[in-house]
Structure 1
Amino acid sequence: MQLQLRYAATGLVLLVPNALALLRFSCSQLVVERLDPLVNPGVTGSPHLHQIIGGNAFKASMDPSSLDIPSAATCTTCTFAEDFSNYWVLYFQARNGTFKRVPQKGNVGFEQSNGGMTVYYTPVISGQGKVTAFKPGFRMIVGDPTNRQSSNVPRQLTYTCLKSPMTRDGETPDFPKQPCPYGIMVNVRFPTCWDGKTLDPPDHARHVAYPSSGTFESNGPCPASHPVKIPQLFYEVIWDTTQFNNKADWPADGSQPFVWSFGDKSGYGNHGDYVFGWKGNALQTAMDTNCNINCPQLKSQSIQQGNQCSVKAVVDETIDGWLDELPGGMPVDK
């Protein structure tokens, strides 16, 4: 089977030319709390709330020199292996200034009972050439939660206002300005070129890059500084904003009402974190054999089995219901 994915960013629509293979699978929610072992290692109560998916080895400190993630985890919320990826949380701010956490719903074919995301790993689009899977200890971040400028948003970070479950066009770098009939999809596409040496630099970003010309979808070349092609890691998350579609509850000035847990109302702070945690050579095997959606070479589990994996939150605070402020007292942009 050949699958075509339609991407768009700031008015430019790109069609993936007959992607020969990709892994597409579900990862349900592991826990929602203020921990971030990548940016704030060892801190109980990071500045903003995160939604965590993947294996249950997740904790405040995940130093790769002392923690072998696949060995430490006893379960994962993902269909395939242990994929430890941090994510952020969306809130609705009502006209009276109070906040309520926005729930999630499953993507097409992935109906999760407790939220989560769809994860893609795609090798070289043309099918010609190989990619090098991430190595143990590899970590990366794309996007910047402090960014509030549209010009600084990579074209690979977007929002889709869903008219139906299958809407895949009209992506924008900021939050949709109107109610979305089926919710808001957030899209995060990570860089696809690696320097071949560094697993996790201090900024968690300089060791990876996007193609030097063209795009991943057009099989653009990697820059000389980052010559190693790696799989494109791609997250899709559907936020069920439908219960908040009554414009009478939106701000009186007509602006959109959603805010990230890190206080961003623009949407330009869209970002994603990744901590590699696959067992052994499983991911390289999947990429080398061009697994397409299903992958018999990998051990898999049902969504229902993944939903049973969880960890207990260690930060004791209220994150649901109507709140007077964002968790952790995070201020909202004016």
Structure 2
Amino acid sequence: MQETPFCLRAGHLLSYSMSDSNTTDFTNPSTFILLGIPGLEAAQVWISIPFCTMYTIAILGNFTILFIVKMEPSLHGPMYYFLCMLAGCDLGLSTSILPKMLSIFWFNSREIDFSACLTQMYFIHCFLEMESGILMAMALDRYVAICHPLRHSTILTNSFVAKLGLAMMLRGSLVVLPYPFLASQWPYCRTNIIPQPYCVHIAVLKLACTDTHISSYYSLFVLFCVIGVDVIFITMSYTQILRAIFSLPTKDARFKTFGTCSSHLFVILAFYIPVLFFSFTFWFSQNVPGHFYVLIASVYHLIPPMLNPIIYGVRTKQIRDRLLWLFTHKGT
């Protein structure tokens, strides 16, 4: 069976043909084909059940966080403003991925327009970078609250919180702009098949048939010089926080103070440990099965949006009490 390659440049995808008796013509010459989870096609309907459940929990949980913070005046403070920003990013990230993924699993809707693929790529990476920046901003809030409690209200004013949150969102929006821009310039002449259920930078990059070292180096720059800087700053903040906690005179005081930042610490671990594992697995491991890598990557993108509202709902007394009050109040 002989395959004739097709070429794509700036979104124009030409079809390829196989043998004379088996010719494939693309009705839309600017589409990619998303395979879902290669090797697990027969189980994708069953796999969709936990993914759909995680998406539902993420949507309900994050909207609940936004609603509670809006309705409860006592929660109108820096920590909860940042939490609302985090909830917004989680909603954006999960919604950028799940609808198309579920359409593949349920309806076998594998085609995606080239421009739609680049748009999805942009928003997935954009929300990931925003979330990293907001987690760093939240670490600053916890550092000031614990290490400089008397200056907390004067340093983290509403104006400063708004400016810091806007800066993190702008940084996330701008730093990933080269991803779709460069991807739209490459010629594609290998295949239009993406062995994943969504478009991400690395997957699209591997389809190009030209030297893509610029994109590869830039993605490493983003990993080490953007997310890496966030991790360093968070580590420095928590080093000072732990020093301040261990310097407290009593065990009860140390435990109570650590409880004020435990939720944020759990969220940080849930976000950064998988992303570092995911990134290093791709760049340095060549023996990972494709379906395992895609499945783990998909789970990673959905775990933080699902876990964050649960962690904050369970670990933060003000949110937990307000949520319980809403349920008991409705029942009376």
TM-score (norm 1): 0.22
Between Structure 1 and Structure 2, the one with more strand by share is 1
Between Structure 1 and Structure 2, the one with more helix by share is 2
TM-score (norm 2): 0.22
Larger radius of gyration: 2
